[in-house]
Amino acid sequence: MPLLIPLTCPRCGSDLAGGAGARIFLCTKCLRAQFMERPEVSYPVVFIQPVLAQGESLLYVPFWRVSGKASLNCPDHKKAERYKSVKALGPLMVPAYWSPRADYYEDFALRYAREPDKLIPGPEAGGTILDGVRAPATLPEIARLTWLAYLDRFADVTGVRLTFKVESTAYACVPFFREGRGYVEGIFGTSIPGSFLVEESPVPSLSTKLP
Amino acid sequence: MSSPRALACPTCGGTVSPPLGSRKTSCGFCGKKLYYSGPDFVPRFYVEPGELEETIRRNCAALFKSRMTPRDMNRRSRLVSRERLFVPFYLITGKRGGVMQTGRERVVRKPPSWDTRIDQTAFGTGTVLPSRSIRPEVTVEEDSRVTLGDFQYLYPAAVMEEWNFSDVELRSVVSKHLERVHPVRMSALIKQGELLDANLPVEQILAKGVASVASTSGEIKVLDHHVAVVYVPLVRLTFQYSEHIFHLVAEELEGNVLSGRLPFRRDWGFLLGFPLVAVLGFLVGQSLQGFHTQAVQGTFHMKEAGQVLGVIALFWAILAGLGLQAAWYFIRTPFIVRVSPGGARIEEAGASPKNPFTPVNKFIWDVLKGLFSGTRRRSF
């Protein structure tokens, strides 16, 4: 692979948009996202409509939306019966952004997957988009393990074989609102600290006041 | 992951230098915007410093008031300059996951079997086993633990020995404040302070960090990882006290002083000298009082008194010699107070000058050696 790749859309030829540290760039005309280290594949960009309109300004946070089919092979009939009563997960939302705080990732991914009806695609509402960095290569394995972890809550998964076949992958931009030093997530209204999302900020200068 | 020195623009073939701090660059000839996909690229972040001026001032003042430093240091020290330093750390983050097969212990209390009851009756007890005779059994059940989560690994990216502080303390402070990281352009960072070069090879650290988060059995694997350099702000304070210039380095996340050197309080020697002189004076007084008593009682003999005085004089000479040498060492050796996160300690800042009493010491030593060896020779 060449070390320098032109930042142009292979479909329409227009410039791709992304920040200094981004590895995923967007064509705002075709609404396609491209992981630049595999430029031959592009993914549709989906903007999720905010359910709650609040906060100071809108920031779109990118997730990989993975839709697919989970198939289960469970030799234990009792367990299989239990799993049948479990509500199926919707498309999985795997964070595509980088965060130094790991503790919110799983919460959001599972919450979105359990209530997929709340994630309604719509037009872009004019916010900035956070840089996407995470490679899509591991999404099938992440999806498989997310399903297994979900099923393990209902019955132990020893002896269970689960396969996940990815049917479609999209680059979903979920609305968040800046509020003070933190953010409010635009679907469920969850407040999160400012440290969750990493945005560029000016370096404060050293005070000239001497102690 | 060696960095290429020059790259060719895929559109016009012009030479493009590898970008620093951003994956985005452009060709200087055709103006085409380009993405740099080189594996040597590492995104740069910095930890936002806290508003800690007062805390750092208080911590410095506490050190100045230490018993090891001169008494008037807090009053007479003057801050000459303060400079910011950015120390690099590698931050490796990523996702790991897998299924671990584990065993889960369970305590099962089984009721006594029918056969046991029959046997018990046959031996004439005639009663059913009491409940306390039911023994609990521990069984191990198969259990799988699904792990899917993020990991974080922080490691210094530069050798910090020259700064005289251990990276362990700084690493634990940085870990607590990682929520304050922001992406940063190197040009903006350079304007605010001196940057230490990230000179430790990332490959080794990556191998170490990734290996530490995966399980040895191979059930938990690293699915994805991301390497970044995080710059941590430190402040180097330069003070003047009398003719001394000294430095302290503090981190700007919690305000702890990490390293530095302070002048040593020299009057400790004099303070220690007072009780020593008092003890010696007491001993001499006691011996003289003994002579006075003998003179009053009329039991004073000139010959014995001469011997006693000779012993006292010898004792005094030895003490005075040792004291002078100790004073020489104490006054002429450059001592400093070394500051570290663990506290302050006294250290020699350089070699002591040549002892002027060395020839005298050698002479005394030779005489003593001769005396003892002579005695031994005589005894054989």
Chain-chain contact of A1 with B37 (C-beta, under 8 angstroms)? yes
So what's the pLDDT on residue B132? Answer: 53
Token pair for A130: 């956070």
Least Cα separation, residue A9 to chain B (angstroms): 12
**Residue B244: which residues within 8 A CB-CB, separation 6 or more?**
B263
pLDDT tens profile B250-298: 999 998 888 888 888 877 766 777 777 788 788 778 877 777 777 777 7
- Cα A75 to chain center, whole Å? 34
* Contacting B residues, span 239-258, partner chain A, CB-CB under 8 Å: none
Chain B positions in Cβ-Cβ contact with residue A133 (cut-off 8 Å):
226
**Is residue A142 less than 8 Å (CB to CB) from chain B?**
yes
State the helix-helix crossing angle for B302-332 and B267-297, rounded to 10 degrees: 180
A58-72, A187-201, B115-129, B343-357: least confident range? B115-129
pLDDT tens profile B124-180: 444 544 555 566 777 777 788 888 888 888 888 988 777 777 778 888 889 888 878
So what's the pLDDT on residue B123? Answer: 47
So what's the pLDDT on residue A151? Answer: 92
- Of the candidates B266, B276, B210, B211, the one whose C-alpha atom is nearest the C-alpha of residue B242 is B266
Query: Which own/partner contact pairs does B8-12 have at CB distance under 8 Å and 24+ positions apart?
Result: B8/A4, B9/A4, B9/B34, B10/A2, B10/A4, B10/A5, B10/A6, B10/B34, B11/A6
* Contacting A residues, span 67-126, partner chain B, CB-CB under 8 Å: 98, 100-102, 105-106
pLDDT tens profile A111-160: 899 999 999 998 888 888 998 999 999 999 999 999 999 999 898 888 88
pLDDT over 90 percentage in chain B: 8
Q: Which of A203, A208, A209 to mutate to test the interface with B (most CBs of B within 10 A)?
A: A203
Question: Model-level pTM?
Answer: 0.75
**Residue B178: which residues within 8 A CB-CB, separation 6 or more?**
A100, A101, A195, B47, B91, B152, B154, B230
**Residue A96: which residues within 8 A CB-CB, separation 6 or more?**
A24, A62, A63, A64, A132, A133, A134, A136, A171
- Rg of the Cα atoms in chain B: 38
Task: Reply yes or no on whether the pLDDT at A210 is more than 90.
Answer: no
Chain B positions in Cβ-Cβ contact with residue A148 (cut-off 8 Å):
99, 146
So what's the pLDDT on residue B5? Answer: 65
**Residue B21 backbone dihedrals phi, psi, to 5 degrees:** 85, -5
Residue A179 forms beta bridges with which residues? A182
- Residue B42 is given by DSSP the state -
- What is the overall mean pLDDT for chain B? 79
If you average pLDDT over residues B238-245, what whole number do you get?
Answer: 88
Chain-chain contact of B224 with A135 (C-beta, under 8 angstroms)? yes
Q: Taking a C-beta distance cutoff of 8 angstroms, is the pair B236, B194 a contact?
A: no
Residue A59 forms beta bridges with which residues? A128, A176
So what's the pLDDT on residue B67? Answer: 83
Which is higher by pLDDT, B295 or A59?
A59
Which is higher by pLDDT, A164 or B145?
A164
- Cα B234 to chain center, whole Å? 16
Q: Taking a C-beta distance cutoff of 8 angstroms, is the pair A64, A172 a contact?
A: yes
So what's the pLDDT on residue B380? Answer: 44
Task: Reply yes or no on whether the pLDDT at B364 is more than 70.
Answer: yes
- What is the overall mean pLDDT for chain A? 86
- Residue A137 is given by DSSP the state G
- Of the candidates B164, B342, B346, B194, the one whose C-alpha atom is nearest the C-alpha of residue B256 is B342
* Contacting B residues, span 152-181, partner chain A, CB-CB under 8 Å: 152, 178-181
So what's the pLDDT on residue A106? Answer: 61
So what's the pLDDT on residue A121? Answer: 92
Of the candidates B7, B53, B183, the beta carbon closest to that of A3 is on B7
**Residue A121 backbone dihedrals phi, psi, to 5 degrees:** -70, 145
- Beta B7-8 vs A92-95: how paired, if at all? unpaired
- The CA distance from B319 to B277, in Å, is 10
Q: Given the structure tokens 């019955």, which residue do they identify? A: A155
Least Cα separation, residue B114 to chain A (angstroms): 30
So what's the pLDDT on residue B210? Answer: 74
If you average pLDDT over residues A182-210, what whole number do you get?
Answer: 71
For the question of an ipTM over 0.90, the answer is no
3-state secondary structure of B61: helix
So what's the pLDDT on residue A211? Answer: 40
Of the candidates A23, A193, A204, the beta carbon closest to that of B49 is on A204
Least Cα separation, residue A99 to chain B (angstroms): 9
If you average pLDDT over residues A7-35, what whole number do you get?
Answer: 91
